[in-house]
Amino acid sequence: MKAHWILPNGSTITAEVREGQNLMEAAVAHNVPRVIGECGGSLSCATCHVYVAPDWAAKTGAVGDFEDAMLDVAEAERQPTSRLSCQVKMSPDLDGLTLIVPA
């Protein structure tokens, strides 16, 4: 399965992501800039903040309560499709998922 990250400079990184892997881990493994994953996915850093491309927002599911609180303190401005990418796991439904990296 593939995921795409659109970077602030307009370029795109595309990577294979295995089922069940979260999108923060996948970004770090493929050196996507600005997705840091400082807390290792324990919902305490918000350095994995991304914007889900609008076409994909419905498929990535709902934001959890704690994730919601953390998104409010993320460094980049929160937008309607903001997610913490450590909370989004790859699945067949998400093959082709496009994430926008905040500037």
Query: Which span sits near ligand FES by CB under 6 A: 7-15, 31-39, 54-62, 94-102?
Result: 31-39
Does the footprint of ligand FES cover residue 84 (CB under 6 A)?
A: yes
Radius of gyration of the chain measured on its C-alpha atoms:
12
Shortest Cβ 38–ligand FES spacing (Å):
6
For ligand FES, the closer of residues 9 and 42 by Cβ is: 42
Q: Does 63 bind ligand FES (CB under 6 A)?
A: no
Answer yes or no whether residue 61 interacts with ligand FES by CB under 6 A: no
Q: 69 CB contacts (<8 Å, ≥6 apart)? A: none
Of 13, 39, 57, 63, the residue at the interface with ligand FES (CB under 6 A) is 39
Q: Strand 82-84's sheet: what is its strand order?
A: 12-16, 2-6, 97-100, 49-52, 82-84
User: Of 19, 16, 41, which is closest to residue 29 (Cα–Cα)?
Assistant: 16
- In whole angstroms, what is the distance from residue 3 CA to residue 13 CA? 8
* Residues making contact with ligand FES (CB under 6 A): 24, 37-39, 41, 43-48, 70, 84, 86
